[in-house]
Amino acid sequence: MENNKVINDVIYVSEMEAWVDVKEYLQHAMSLANYNSDVKFELKYKTSWYGNNNWFEPYIRVYTKDQADQVLERLTDGDIDAQIDVYESDDGDYGGRPIMLKRYSVELIDIKLDKQIEL
């Protein structure tokens, strides 16, 4: 899927060649992410802005690289355009050797929303 565009709460899905309700699209993505999984993942939002404009970008919070790989595979197999994102930071312990923390998520690519959608 290339160049997702969200207009008036619908998103164009090129594989279907149709406009789909964004909430239904996100619900579908979450059902794929949680399919046959012991861990129930949550949909979260990153806030971005440029000038006076701000928007929300949905992502799925996972806890390990293995979970990120599994969720990514489920989403891409289900025609959801996604990618793994890793945020790295140290633990901030100045008294000892710093420990690098990695936080994994799976981003739903090119989806920019005017508001967060509760599922």
- Summarised one tens digit per residue, pLDDT across range 1-23 is 345 578 888 888 777 788 889 99
pTM over 0.75: yes
Alpha-carbon distance of 116 to 47, in angstroms, equals 9
- The pLDDT of residue 2: 45
- The pLDDT of residue 1: 38
Buried b (16+ CB within 10 A) or exposed e, 59-89: bbebeeeebbebbbebbeeeebbbeeeeeee
How is 48-87 classified by DSSP, letter by letter?
A: EEETTEEEEEEEEE-SSHHHHHHHHHHHHHTT--EEEEEE
- Summarised one tens digit per residue, pLDDT across range 62-117 is 999 999 999 999 999 988 889 999 988 776 666 666 777 889 999 999 899 989 99
Extract the tokens encoding 65: 């690289």
